[in-house]
Amino acid sequence: MALHSATTPEGDGLSRRSKTWPQKLRREFGRLLAQSNTLTMRPRALTTHTQFLFVLGHMRSGSTLLCHLLCNSSEIVGFGETHNNYRRRSDLAKLLMSVGKYTGKNPMDYRYVLDKIVGAQHVINAAVLTDRRTRYVFLIREPIASVASIVAMRRQFNDESPDQSLEFAIEHYTGRLAQLEQFAHTIDDPQRCLLVTHRQLLGETQAAFRALETFLGLNTRMREDYAIMPTTGQPGIGDPSPNIRLGKIDRSLPRKYVALPGKLQQHLDQCYVTCAEKLREMVQTPDFRTTYLRAA
């Protein structure tokens, strides 16, 4: 009977609970180890000549594609969005640790260590923004395509109504554009900032590549194909759609669309144009055919 009791629901429950404790302990040990390693790395993060490259955009701006294209370079190492917060310069150690963990490479061997920040909740304070070793690529996309793509992604991964998805998309898009303007104002150094739009990246790719190469001083040419990384397509790190796993720019993908009331669409268009114009005043903006960044 005692042996049989181990197969009862109570016995199974105890067994399952007992199995979770080792898992919890391993997770906690891993967290503490990572924290210890990060603290050890802080002095190097403050003194290293390695530069830190941030792609600053909004959700569905094309930032995952841009990161893959940039990481093709032998001078740049990264994997996507780390979700780190950068409140002080020593927090750059978090980026070194994250990139080393997820890529298996020593970030100190590279000229640039890359992170992308598209979530409005992630912190990057003035102490980091004004650090002379940091570089910033601002990436923005016209509103209808951005909002439609955010809504489609939210509907796929979140249990919410269409109205809730649309509300989130609009709040994120408008709030993030304003945040990007503030970042540029705080950085206040056009030599460390470059503005590229999603339309320019896909429609004037070679011009965008030459601008990025010049801005970063890269010794190698950028290409339209890119290597698939272990983190490619993972939700939370970047674009979770199958498209990013194609390993190249694909311009044949259907354009997403969302119907909006006229006044709301005008408001979003104006937010985009205003943001583009303000960024153009504060950061480098190479000569593209689409020199005036219209929302249409």
70-118 pLDDT, tens per residue? 999 999 999 999 999 999 999 999 999 999 999 999 999 999 999 999 9
End-to-end CA distance of the chain: 75
Average of per-residue pLDDT values in the chain: 87
pTM of the model: 0.84
Which of these, 132, 122, 125, 113, lies nearest to 53 by C-alpha position?
Answer: 113
Same domain? 30 vs 142:
no
What pLDDT score does 5 carry? 35
Same domain? 168 vs 250:
yes
CB 220 within 8 A of CB 75: yes
Same domain? 39 vs 68:
no
In this model, does residue 20 exceed pLDDT 90?
no
Residue 20 falls inside a structural domain? yes
Domains in the chain, number: 2
Query: In sequence order, which residues have a C-beta less than 8 Å from that of residue 216 and are 6 or more positions away?
Result: 53, 75, 76, 112, 135
What pLDDT score does 173 carry? 98
Q: How far is CA 194 from CA 86, 117, 122, 135, 275, in A?
A: 20, 15, 21, 8, 14
In this model, does residue 158 exceed pLDDT 90?
no
- Model confidence over 214-238: pLDDT tens digits? 999 999 999 999 999 999 999 888 8
What pLDDT score does 46 carry? 63
Same domain? 165 vs 218:
yes
Same domain? 145 vs 233:
yes
Q: How far is CA 30 from CA 27, 36, 81, 90, 166, in A?
A: 5, 10, 20, 21, 38
Residue 292 falls inside a structural domain? no
Range of the domain at 256: 50-282
Same domain? 101 vs 213:
yes
- Model confidence over 257-282: pLDDT tens digits? 898 999 999 999 999 999 999 999 99
Q: Domain boundary at 12, 29, 47, which? A: 47
Same domain? 57 vs 29:
no
